[in-house]
Amino acid sequence: MLTLKSCINIDDLGRLAARKVPFPVNDYVEGGADDEVTLKRNSDGFGHYQIVPKALQDVSSICTKTHVMGCDIELPFYISATGFSGMMCPTDAELAGVRAAAKFKTLYTASTFSNRSLEEIAQASHSDKLFQVYVLDDAELATRLNQRAKDAGFKGMVLTIDTIVGGNRERDARSGLSIPPRLTVKSTLQYMLRPVWLFHYLRGDGANMGNFPEMPKVTLGDSKAFVEAMSKLFKKDLTWADAEHMIQQWGGPFAIKGIMSVQDALRAKEAGASAVILSNHGGRQLDCTPSPIELVEEVRQAVGPEMEIIVDGGIRRGTDIFKALALGANACSLGRAYVRGLSAGGQAGAEKALSILEAEFKRCMILAGCSSIDQIGPEHVRKIGA
C-alpha cells in the first residue's frame, strides 16, 4: 500500500495524491491545455540534456546555498505560487506550504488567489516569501494589495502575465470542475468518494478568497456570483507600461513570470525587472509552446550575467534542477511537484516533496563533482545530438 512514508519520488506523490483528493481536483492539478503537448514537453525537455560529470573532485562537503530575489536560501529551488490551495489541502491551504518552505529554509510564493490572506501567510513563518500578482483592472485595489504585501514583509514581487484568459483545459470540462469546486451531477459522486476531503473542504477555507474578503463566498453548490466577480478583476489591456509601473511602485526585487522568448526577456530587463521566470504556466495556458528548460541557454546569453533567470515547469527530479543551473538559471520554482505533495499529505506531503528533491539534487552534485552551486556550469551539461 502506497503511503507518504513509502513515496520515493515525485511521481509516487502524484499517485498517492490521486487517492486522497477527488478525481476532478486531481485532474485540475495534473492537466494541461488542449492536447497537453506543452504539458508533456515541459518534463520531457529535460531529457534532451545529459549531465557531464567532473572526475576526482573533492565533494566531501556540499553547499547548496544561493541568493535569489534578494533572499539567501538554502536550496536553489522554491515553491511557486499555486492558487486555491484549499482544494488540495482543505485543512491548511497555503499555510502547509509556507511552513514546509520555512523548514527547508527556502522561499514560498503566495498567490493573489490564495485561500488564506497574504497577512496570514506572512505570519505563518519568519522565512522569506514572495507575493505573486496579476494586473488588476481596479487600480486602487491593485495599489492597496501592493501596499499590503509590503506591510506584511514580502521580500519580492512576481507578476504573472500569461493568464489574461484561461487556457482550454479539457480535463476540467470533462470532469465538471469549476473554480472553486461546485456540485454537479457528474462531480457529486467523485467528491463523495473522498469523504475526508469533502468534510474538511465544507468546513474549511477552501472556497474563500483570502485576499479579497469582499468577494462573494461560495459553496460547493453555487459559484455564479463568485465567477462573475472574478471575471471583473483582471485588466484585459495589459501592456509593458503596466509592468513598468508595478516595478517602480514595488521598488524591490521583481520577477516577471510567463516569459517565453529572448525578446520578452530583454524587454523585461529594459522595464527594470530583476528576474525573469521562464514559464508557460505548466502547460495550462497556450499549448504547443517550448519547454522553459529549452530557453535557458539562449536567454542567459541575451540578458547577461546580472539578471536572474528562474525555471518554472516540468521539474520532477533533482537532476532537472541541476541541468537548469548548468544551462544558466539561478534557481527553479516548483508547481506540480509541490502540489502533488500538498495533495498527498498536507504540510507533511509538501515537506516530503522538498526532501525528495533536496536528496536527489545533492546526490547529483556529488556524482557530477560539484561541492557548491557556483561550481555548476555549462561544462556539466550537453544537449543530445549537439
The closest alpha carbon to 351, from 114, 132, 92, belongs to 92
Non-local CB neighbours of 197 within 8 Å, separated by 6+ positions: 20, 21, 22, 25, 90, 191
Give SS3 for 281: helix
Please give the pLDDT value at position 256: 98
Q: Is 9 helix (H, G, I), strand (E, B) or coil?
A: coil
Which tens digits make up the pLDDT trace of 28-38? 999 999 999 99
Q: Taking the mean position of all CA atoms in its chain, how far away is CA 340?
A: 12
- The pLDDT assigned to 198 comes to 84
Phi, psi angle pair for 69, to nearest 5°: 50, 40
DSSP notation for 192-227:
HT-HHHHHHHHHSSTT--TT-TTSPP-BTTB-HHHH
281 assigned to active site: yes
Cell of 15: 499517485
User: Among the options 67, 126, 281, 380, which is catalytic?
Assistant: 281
Contact 94, 110 (CB under 8 A): yes
CA distance 70 to 73: 10
The segments of the chain whose pLDDT lies below 50 read: 221-223
Rounded to two decimals, the pTM is 0.93
| 164 DSSP 8-state letter | S
Burial 356-386 (b: 16+ CB within 10 A, else e): bbbebbbebbeebbbbebebbeeebbeeeee
Rounded CA-CA distance 108/101 in Å is 6
**Residues in a beta bridge with 63:** 372
What's residue 238's pLDDT? 83
For the chain, which domains are there? 10-46+76-357 (3.20.20.70)
The type of residue at 335 is: G
Say if residues 63 and 51 touch (Cβ distance below 8 Å). no
pLDDT in tens, 213-255: 666 555 554 445 555 555 567 777 889 999 999 999 999 999 9
